[in-house]
Amino acid sequence: MAAAPVPRTGTQPDADLLVKARHVTKKFGGLTAVNAVDFDIPRGSIVSLIGPNGAGKTTFFNMITGAYTPTAGTITFDGHHLVTQSGNRMRSLKPHAVTELGIGRTFQNIRLFGTMSALDNIRVGLHVHLKSHWWDAVLRLPSMRAEEEYSIQRGEELLELVGLEGRGNIWARNLPYGDQRRLEIGRALATNPKLLLLDEPTAGMNSSETAEMTAFIRSLRTRLNLSVLLIEHDMRVVMGISDRVTVLDYGEVIAEGSPAEVRANPRVVEAYLGRGAASN
């Protein structure tokens, strides 16, 4: 139950890098979805990953969270190797172990636990921080009951944080779309992450909701001391809150830099904005 047995990097370089990915490649059969990508997330930063549809953004996400195993490359998070190689077989840390290390995520297509209440969705996110065993539950030992009370209280705090106070009893699937997005963030925050991965958090939102979400993400960094990796199609969001922007196209990094630099980069304009995939 303690921290997963993850090998630490031998040296102590890049101490201010939370994520360091090198030459990360993912092939699906003949298709190279992500091709030799180098990618860093400095501690405390908001970094965006943009690119046209099918560029490989979600695939890259999934390799960080352990859902996909890279075909090649290395990823370290906070000094832990997320990918290891034994022989010529690549291995990823299991998603639940990655979560325990401190990475929380949301999904491009909302994946809440539909018929659980909003509060219980958050309490599932708290799972890794609750330690009681099944026998504690069977006997309802005091430690277990104290922990349950804590999870309710903490769950309600988190509901309030994401602006869903008073809606804890509603089933996730019955919440309006925007609230579902917020609840997903709340559930991810419940795992107490150091790094929050958001896959298109403003998809399907109107401009005022989008502005609200943008402000909310920015506030999270300061309040919770988080780093954020953001996938986003809405350029206003990306340009508004990112410290760094990386642009993927056909699985390759075609540009990397500050929002202003990226915006001015002609390759980006051609590959991304030129194709009309973005709104402005």
Partner 1 sequence: MSASSRPIQPGIVGWLTHLVSSALNLPGAYRRELERRRGRTLAMTILAVFAMAYPVLNRLYFQPFSRNVFPLPFPEDAVVTFMMIFGIMAIGLNIVAGFAGLLDLGYVAFYAFGAYTAAFLASPHFGSVSVVLFSNTIQGFPGIHFPFWMLVPLAMITAATFGVLLGAPTLRLRGDYLAIVTLGFGEIVPVVFKNLAAVNFDFGPIHLVNANLTGGNLGINPIDAPHFFGIKFGSSSGIAAVYLGMILLVGAILTARNLERSRMGRAWIAIREDEVAAEMMGINTVRTKLLAFGLGASFAGVAGVFQASYQGLTTSDFFTFATSILVLIMVILGGIGNIWGVLVGALVLVFVDKTFLPWLGLRFTEISPDLPNPSQFNFLIFGVLLVAMMRFRPEGFIPSRQRAAELHHAPPGQAIGAAATMGDAAIAGEEAVEELAAEQEAIATADEAAEVIDIEGPPGDAPGRAGT
Binding site for Mg ion (CB under 5 A): 58, 108
Q: 261-270: which pairs have CB atoms within 8 A and are 24 or more residues apart?
A: 262/50, 263/239
Cα three-residue angle 213-217-221, rounded to 5 degrees = 165
Q: Dihedral of CA 242/245/249/251: which sign?
A: negative
Q: Does 53 interact with partner 1 (rule: CB under 8 A)?
A: yes
Residues 29-58 as x/- pattern, contact with ligand ATP by CB under 6 A: --x-x-----------------x-xxxxxx
- Are the C-beta atoms of residues 201 and 106 closer than 8 Å to each other? yes
**What are the two backbone dihedrals, phi and then psi, of residue 203, each rounded to the nearest 5 degrees?**
-55, 135
Q: In whole angstroms, what separates CA 190 from the centre of its chain?
A: 13
Name which of ligand ATP, Mg ion, partner 1, none residue 254 binds, using a CB cut-off of 5 to 8 Å depending on partner kind.
none
Smallest separation, CB 271 to Mg ion (Å): 16
Name which of ligand ATP, Mg ion, partner 1, none residue 24 binds, using a CB cut-off of 5 to 8 Å depending on partner kind.
none
Smallest separation, CB 220 to ligand ATP (Å): 22
- For 260, residues 6+ apart whose C-beta sits below 8 A from its C-beta are none
Q: Looking at beta carbons only, is 50 or 122 nearer to ligand ATP?
A: 50
Using CB under 8 A as the binding rule, the residues of this chain from 191 to 210 that contact partner 1 are 191, 199, 203-207, 210
Q: Does 277 interact with partner 1 (rule: CB under 8 A)?
A: yes
Q: Does 111 interact with partner 1 (rule: CB under 8 A)?
A: yes
Name which of Mg ion, partner 1, ligand ATP, none residue 55 binds, using a CB cut-off of 5 to 8 Å depending on partner kind.
ligand ATP
Name which of ligand ATP, Mg ion, partner 1, none residue 170 binds, using a CB cut-off of 5 to 8 Å depending on partner kind.
none
Q: Which two tokens stand for residue 275?
A: 């194709």
Order across the sheet with 80-81: list the strands.
31-42, 17-28, 72-77, 80-81
Name which of ligand ATP, partner 1, Mg ion, none residue 169 binds, using a CB cut-off of 5 to 8 Å depending on partner kind.
none
Among 7, 166, 176, 274, binds partner 1 (CB under 8 A): 176
Smallest separation, CB 76 to partner 1 (Å): 20
Among 2, 12, 29, 138, binds partner 1 (CB under 8 A): 138
Residue 266: in which H helix or E strand, if any? helix 266-268
Smallest separation, CB 72 to Mg ion (Å): 21
Smallest separation, CB 202 to Mg ion (Å): 14
In the block, residue with structure tokens 């996110």: 125
Rounded-to-integer distance, Cα 50 and Cα 146, Å: 44
Name which of Mg ion, partner 1, ligand ATP, none residue 274 binds, using a CB cut-off of 5 to 8 Å depending on partner kind.
none
Rounded-to-integer distance, Cα 249 and Cα 30, Å: 17
Q: Looking at beta carbons only, is 18 or 33 nearer to Mg ion?
A: 33
Q: Does 3 interact with partner 1 (rule: CB under 8 A)?
A: no
Rounded-to-integer distance, Cα 110 and Cα 125, Å: 15
In the block, residue with structure tokens 């909003």: 118
Residue 63: in which H helix or E strand, if any? helix 57-64
Given the rule CB under 6 A, which residues bind ligand ATP? Answer: 28, 31, 33, 51, 53-59, 108
